[in-house]
Every structure is written in structure tokens, then in C-alpha cells.
A and B are shown apart, each in its own frame.
Chain A
Amino acid sequence: MPAEPVLVTTAATKSYADLVALAPLDLTVREGERVALVGHNGSGKSTFLQLVTGLLELSGGTIEVVGAPAGAADARAAVSYLPDEPVLYDDLDVREHLAYVAALHGVEADDDDIDELIERVGLTERATDLPARFSRGLRQKASIAVGLIRPYQLLLVDEPFVGLDATGKRSLLSLLDEAHESGAATIVATHDPVYVERVDRCLALRDGEVVHDGPATPAEVLELVTS
């Protein structure tokens, strides 16, 4: 019996005036599925992810997350989004960020839970520092921890490896594997062709249109992205 769908898009499209950012897209992603979203700059990857979160509004079609329209309370509870550009508070330190976001999602996260996650992303020494004063890579690590402290059934990750050092990249890959093992679906938008080796399915976008949907090798991804 196939796993339950967590994401269903039907003719989902987004345009800005006469610019089509995402052509009508039909897609189903099931529980535990690992999807890599590839494509050149401006192909529509971030637009698609933000449509699923509800940050952007559809120009046409529908998107449902765990049966609820994208952006509805149930969908928001099920989707965790790690953006390519970390968005964090200026006046909260890393621990406070995690405690705050956990509280907003009704998670009873004690100090040990928070410390463990902070350690996993390599921020133990900076746990009580303000991310506003961090480098790009450290902010990215803080953003990852914030996105993973809360429950989710669908994890959306946009360009996760940009700015991360080798240790950070390893930790993130390990955390993504854990997310998969726990039954969550993951959609990772990336320019890294090697990442597709770790996923079940590769979705390639070109100028807002899907040009490939299925397994792919790194070489095929390179061809899809550059051709």
C-alpha cells in the first residue's frame, strides 16, 4: 500500500504580471519520500517552495499539504521551511530562538533537547550569542536548528549547503537522513548534483516548467541544469 500523500499540487502556477515564474505543475509527494529539486538560477525552485509554505500566493491551481490548503493552520503545522537566506530575530540568541519557535508549535522542548540540537549543528560555543552578529554560515546553522526544533511532516530546504563548512554540511545531511527515517518527506532545492544520489526522486525545473521527474544520476542532473 503506497504511503499517504503529504503534498499534492494541481496545476499550481505563479506569475508576476507577464512573467511566468512557475508553469502549471501537477505533483504528489508522499510520506518519507526524498525529493531533490534542481534547476538553474531563476528556474522556479524557490518560488515553488515558497508557494508550498504559503509565503507566496498561487496565481492558479491548488496546493494541499496533508489535505489542507497551503498556508492554512494545519498545513503550517506540517511544513518546516529552511530558507536559502536565514531570517532570524535581531534580539534573540540561538537558544531563545529555538525555545521561541518550539513554543509557537506547541513543542515541550527542554534545555537538553535544545542543547542537543545546537550541538548537532555545531553552535554549542555560540548558543547564547545573537545570530545578528554571526557570519553567513553560522546564521545558516542557526536557521537549520530553528527549522528542526519543531515537528513537521514535510521539510522544505532551499539551497542548504551554501555557506556551510564541511562539518556543517555533514551534520545537515545526517539531520536530513534522520528526518527521512522518521517518516517525513523532504524536498531539497539544490545546485549540488551529487545530492541526487541520496534521494528517491529528482525534479528538474527549467524556466518554471518541469523537465524531469524521476530518478537521476549526477551526470544527468548536470545535463538537465545546463542544457
Chain B
Amino acid sequence: MREADPDADLEGALAAWRRYRRRRRVAEVHWVDALYQAYITAILGAITLFALAAIVGDEHLSAGALADVRADGADWLGALAAAVLALGLRSGSRGGPLALERSEVRHVLLAPVDRTTALRGPAVRQLRFLAFVAAVVGVEGGLLASARLPHHAGLWMAWGALYAVATLALAYGAALLAAAVRLPSPVATAAGVALVAWGVADALDAAEGNPLVAWGDLGLGPFHQSWTMVVAVLVSLAVVVAGVVRIGDLSLEAAERRSSLVGQLRFAATLQDLRTVVVLRRQLAMELPRLTPWARVAVHGTGRAPVWSRGLRGVLRWPAARVGRLVLLGIVAGLALRGAWDGTTPLVAVAGLALFVAGLDAVEPLAAEVDRPTRSRTLPLEPGELHLRHLPIAVVVMILTGVVAAVAAVAVPPSAEAVTVAAACVAPGALGAVAGAATSVLSGAPDHSAWSLAPPEAAGVRLVVRTAWPIVLAAGGTLPVLAARAAADAGRSPELAAGQAGVLVAVGFVAVAAWVVKRDALHETWAAVIDPDHPNNPRNRARALAAEAEAYDDADEELTDAR
């Protein structure tokens, strides 16, 4: 039996080994690769800055608009800080924000090394990197703001950076503390939602007292300074220091679950494999099917509609977290559509995105089928037809989500005249969301190898279209809202306009359903057209037919000669 030296400096040994590993990793990175990465980052940053500059514009604001920014700007920046803080709380409740190597959890955190010391280094490095990114974002935001607001650009950039770094520090510290006190995920989610709702309500003057407005004030520092801004900075510092001090109390169970999933999640996200990202995210959140379903569905032999029945059973085992998420997404979509109805058209994109994400949950039975193609192909049913049969249950789920959206849209603030319009928009919204989500799930991850020889412009455009198309389909389901608004503005019946637009959405849904059924055949045809060696390529088929006809003529001639 080996014996440990009671006076051994375990933390010192750990630090020395980490330095050794880091030196070796750095030595393995070729300077050309590092330069290339820096070059790509700089190019992307410049493109983002120019695109945002084009959107923001460079004309100075009118006196009225400037007064609005002075009055409400800090409230909206406070709401943004609340959203970042909410993300931090959620990450912490799931073992974040650190994503350790699994071997670090097993060998370092299970050794008698002081865990706070062992984790402080990785945490400080991560915080340093995130603070740098936040500062860059803050500087860019300040630069954009300076184009339209009075005061020097340098001043805006400095305050922008301070706002971003203070907000990041607050959220990062809160995440570490949430992980240390083992904050349950539902509590973190509820707290996050409450913070964001408070922030938005404050910005809309429907509530008061959002404490994060003090962080928002930092972003508008060039306009005015107050002692609350000093408090915001000090609180951010205090929270992040407290988080680092408590870092050793994190749950190993959550840390290990996170360590094994976060790497896969990042890899799937890099490949734009949305389905894998969804599945891994659920595992990270421990989102498991209920052992006891919400309601029992009686089994009568094989049943007449096994696919529908399977879908329904799957939905009835959804965990409460998933149901809650659909309700939340329904509320977000409803509020965004209410905003669009009141005149802010771009909010349709927010509603479309929320409905698309909800749709990804709704098409889960279909997605589970797509994940197991071998099993699907053993069934005496064409895959396309099988996939089509999964859609009705998804539509039912989305109609229920749409009802939540309609209630939210009508209730905040209450409007009796919006009830009939909202009711007319529920079904089209559901159809659009299911069409978008089903398209995304069936399309799968992009096959980069197939387009590796294409010009970058063509491959890039294809990638953007492929990524955006399902979301556009989902947003298309909200068309009746815009049609109803236009009709109401023109003095016509909004309900009728919504209904007519709804018919258009239904036609689009039927087209998507037809694509679902015929997808394999269409792919086969397309593959034959673009591949000159494919036996079904039109030229090859023509040659084969010509050869067949020639052979027939020869046989005919031989027969005639024989006679």
C-alpha cells in the first residue's frame, strides 16, 4: 500500500501539471493556424460591425427621439442585463458556467486537492475571456450609438464596455453562486423569467423599480452619472468574487453531466446539427420522460392508428419542464404578435422564432422516428408516409400552444376586439410552426462535403437559405396577423382577412406535407439529374432506351430474315 505525504503541496503539484499540459498544448498549435483563426475572427467582427452600422444608420436622432432614449434607454438596457442574468442563473443551476474535462472531474475533483483552488484557475480564465468578448461587444455598441447620439465616440465606447463587462460579471458570478448553492433548475428558470418580465414591464412603464436599471444607466453614462452606477459596478464585483470564493461547492454530479454533454453540444452546433443540439440540451437539463404519463391512453389491440397513438403516448409523457417551455414560448409568440398587431412589424420574426422552437418540441415523435431510420425502414410503410402520419399530433400540440399565445395576445393589455382575430390566427400559426419544424428535422444536418467544391458564395448562400428556411416557414404562419392589421387599417374586416391568409398558410402546409411524403423520391430524382454516372440520369436513361430500341430492331430484323 502506498502512503501519502501529509505535508505534500497537492495544489502546487496540480498547478505545475496544468502548466506542463498548457505549454505542450500551446506548442502543438501552429502559428499559421493561430494567425488564420485571428484573421477569420477579425473578418467576421468587421462584417458584423458594418452590417449593424448599416441597420443603425448614422443620422443624429431628432429631439423627440433623443428624449425617448434619455427617458427609456436605461430601462431597456436594464431589461437586457436581466436577460443576461437569467441566462447565468440557468447555466449555474445546470452545473455551469464551467465545462470541465470529464477526466478533470474524475481525477482532480475526486483527489484530496482543495476544490476551490483547483477550480479557481479555469474559472478566472473563462471569466477573463468572456470579459474580453463583452468589452469588445460593448465598445462596438458604443461606437454604433455614437453615430446617432451626441457626445464623443470614445466616451460611448468606454461606457458601453463598462456596461457589458459589469453585466457579464454579475451574470457570471450569479451562475457560480447558483451552482454552489445547487439552485434547482425550475427555480432558476422562474427567477430568470421574473427578472426579464420585470425589466420589460419597467421599460414599457407597466412596472417600476427594476434594480438592473442601474446597470442600464452605465450604458447611457455619457448622458448622466449617478451614485447608483457605482453601486452597480461594486455589486457586480462583489457577486463575481463571491462566486469564485464559493466555486468549490459546485455539484460534481452536475459538473460531470455537463462535462460529457457540453463538448458534444458545441460540436453539434458547429455542424449546424440542430436536432442533435436539441437532444443534448435536453440531456443537459435532465429532461426525462415521465414514468407516469399525464393521462393513460387505453391500448386496444394494435389499434387503427398506431402512429398517432404512439405520438400521443409520447406527448403524454412529456416532463413538466417541456410543457412549461411550450407555454412560455406561446406567451412570447402571443406578446410579439400583439406588438406586430399594434404596428411593430419586425416582431413577427420574434413570434416566428418562438413558434419554430416550440414546433421543434411538438414534432418530437417525428424526430424520434427520423433518429432511427433503420427501424423505420423495416416497417411495411414508405418512410414519407410514416413521417406524414406524425404531423397531426404535432399540429394538435401547436394548436394548444397557439391558444396560449392567443390568450397572451388578447390579455396584455386586454382587448375584446382582438379575440376573434386571435382565434382566427391560432390554426395557421400551428400549421406554420409544424411545417417549419418538420422541414428542419427531416432536412437533418447539412452535408458540407457535398458542397465542398462549390464556390464559397454559392455554398454560403445555400447554407443561409437552408438554415433560415424552416424559420421563415414558421414565421409564415403568422401572416394572418399582418393581413388582419392591414385590413383593419383599410377599414375592412380583419377576421375575414385573417381567414383568407389562413387559407394561404394551409395551402403552404399541404405543400410541405406533400414534400414530406415525396421527399425521398425528389432527392433520388435530383441525385440522378446532377450525377452523370447515376443510372437514372436522363442521358443514361436515353442511352439505355436507345440501346434497347436498337436491340429490338436487330431482333426484329433477325426475325424478319428468318421468316
Asked if A108 is at the interface of the complex by the 8 Å CB criterion, the answer is yes
Asked if residues B290 and A151 are in contact (CB atoms below 8 Å), the reply is no
* In the complex, A18 has a CB within 8 A of chain B: yes
Q: Is B253 an interface residue, CB under 8 A from the partner?
A: yes
- Write the A100-111 contact mask toward B (1 if CB under 8 angstroms, else 0): 111111111100
User: Chain B 2-17 against A: per-residue CB contact (8 Å), 1 yes, 0 no?
Assistant: 1111101010011011
A182-B252 contact given A87-B103, A89-B103, A100-B17, CB 8 Å threshold: no
A4 at the interface (CB under 8 A from B): no
Q: How far is the CA of A184 from the CA of B2 in the complex (A)?
A: 11
Q: Is the CB of B107 within 8 A of A100?
A: yes
Shortest CB-to-CB span from B192 to chain A, Å, is 21
Please indicate the chain A residues that have their CB under 8 angstroms from the CB of B25 in the complex. Answer: 91
B123 to chain A, nearest CB (A): 19
Interface string of B91-110 (1 = CB under 8 A from A): 00000000001110111101
Task: Decide: A81 and B107 in contact? CB cutoff 8 A.
Answer: no
| Mask: chain B, 383-404; 1 = CB below 8 Å from A; 0 = not | 0000000000000000000000
Indicate if B536 sits at the interface (CB-CB under 8 A). Answer: no
A151 in contact with B4 (CB, 8 Å): yes
Contact with A along B269-299 (1 / 0, CB 8 A): 0000000000000000010101110000000
Q: Does B251 contact A (CB under 8 A)?
A: yes
* A53 CA to B102 CA, complexed, in Å: 15
Q: Evaluate contact between B106 and A83: CB separation under 8 angstroms.
A: yes
- Interface centre among B4, B8, B108, B288, by most chain A C-beta atoms within 10 angstroms, is B4
CB < 8 Å A-B pair total: 103
Contact of B2 among A55, A91, A150 (CB under 8 A): A150
Residue interface mask A74-112, B partner, CB < 8 A = 1: 101101010100011111100000001111111111000
Tell me which of B112, B252, B288 contacts A105 (CB under 8 A).
Answer: B112
Contacts of A115 in B (CB 8 A): none
Contacts of A182 in B (CB 8 A): 1
Complex contacts, A100 vs chain B, CB 8 Å: 17, 107
Alpha-carbon separation in the docked complex, A146 to B2 (Å): 13
Q: Mark B178-190, 1 if CB is under 8 A from A, else 0.
A: 0000100000000
Q: How far is the CB of A175 from chain B (nearest CB, A)?
A: 12
| Cβ-closest chain B residue relative to A184 | B1
Whether the Cβ atoms of A76 and B107 lie closer than 8 Å is no
Report how far A83 CA is from B105 CA in the complex, Å.
13
Given contacts A17-B288, A71-B252, contact A104 B10 (CB under 8 A): yes
**Chain B: CB-nearest residue to A117:** B2
Question: B13, B102, B106, B256 — which one has the most chain A CB atoms within 10 A of its CB?
Answer: B106
Question: Is A57 interfacial (CB 8 A cutoff)?
Answer: yes
Given the complex, which residues of B lie within 8 Å of A3, measured CB to CB? none
CB distance from B207 to the nearest CB of A (A): 35
Min CB gap A91→B, angstroms: 6
A211 within 8 Å of B (CB atoms): no
For the complex, what is the distance from the CA of A184 to the CA of B1, rounded to whole Å?
Answer: 9
For residues 131 through 173 of chain A, which have their beta carbon under 8 Å from a beta carbon of chain B?
146, 149-152
Distance (Å) between the CB of A64 and the closest chain B CB? Answer: 16
Residue from B5, B13, B101, B112 whose CB has the most chain A CB atoms within 10 Å: B112
The smallest beta-carbon distance between A148 and chain B, in angstroms, is 9
CA distance A81 to B110 in the complex (A): 9
Contact B103 A88 (CB under 8 A): yes
A90 proximity list for chain B (CB < 8 A): 103
Given A57-B253, A107-B3, does the pair A89, B101 have CB atoms closer than 8 Å? yes
Does A1 sit at the interface, judged by CB under 8 A?
A: no
Q: Are B292 and A18 in contact (CB under 8 A)?
A: yes
| Residue in A17, A88, A104, A184 whose beta carbon sits within 8 Å of that of B108 in the complex | A104
Chain B residue nearest to A79 in the complex (CB)? B110
Q: Which of B102, B112, B182 contacts A76 (CB 8 A)?
A: B112
* B550 CB within 8 Å of chain A: no
Which residues on A sit within 8 Å (CB–CB) of B16? 103
A77 to chain B, nearest CB (A): 4
Q: Which of A56, A81, A108, A183 contacts B1 (CB 8 A)?
A: A183
Specify which chain A residues have a CB less than 8 angstroms from the CB of B288 in the assembled complex: 16-17
Q: Which of B234-262 contact A (CB under 8 A)?
A: 251-253, 256
Question: Nearest Cβ in chain A — how far from B257, in angstroms?
Answer: 10
A106 near B252 with CB under 8 A, answer: no
Complex CA gap A56/B234 in Å reads 36
> Is B111 in contact with A105, judged by CB distance below 8 angstroms?
yes
Instruction: Judge whether A104 and B113 touch: CB under 8 Å.
Output: yes
Q: Does B377 contact A (CB under 8 A)?
A: no
CA distance A66 to B288 in the complex (A): 36
**Are A106 and B1 in contact, with the CB atoms below 8 A?**
no
Residues of A within 8 A of B101 (CB): 89
Cβ of B21 under 8 Å from chain A: yes
A77–B103 alpha-carbon span in the complex (Å): 17
Residues of B within 8 A of A19 (CB): 291
Say how far A100's CB is from chain B's closest CB, in angstroms: 5
Q: Are A106 and B10 interface neighbours, CB within 8 A?
A: yes
Residue B448 at the chain A interface, CB threshold 8 Å: no
Chain B residues lying within 8 Å of A55, measured Cβ to Cβ, are 105-106, 110, 252-253, 256
Q: Which of B112, B252, B290 meets A18, CB within 8 Å?
A: B290
- Chain A's closest residue to B18 (CB) is A100
Contacts of B4 in A (CB 8 A): 77, 105-107, 150-151
The interface bits of chain B over 103-137 (1 if a CB of A lies within 8 angstroms of the residue's CB, else 0) are: 10111101111100000000000000000000000
Q: Is the CB of A73 within 8 A of B114?
A: yes
Interchain CB contact under 8 A, B17 and A108: no
Residues of chain B lying within 8 A (CB to CB) of residue A122: none
Give min CB distance, A145 to chain B, whole Å.
Answer: 12
- A-B contacts, 20 of them at CB < 8 A, read A17-B290, A54-B110, A55-B110, A73-B114, A74-B112, A77-B112, A81-B106, A81-B110, A87-B102, A87-B106, A90-B103, A103-B14, A104-B14, A104-B111, A105-B4, A107-B4, A146-B107, A151-B4, A152-B1, A183-B1
List 3 A-B pairs, minimum CB-CB distance, nearest first.
A106-B8, A182-B1, A77-B112
Q: Give 12 A-B pairs besides A76-B110, A90-B103 with Cβ atoms closer than 8 angstroms.
A: A55-B105, A55-B106, A77-B112, A91-B25, A102-B2, A104-B10, A104-B13, A104-B113, A105-B10, A105-B111, A107-B2, A109-B2
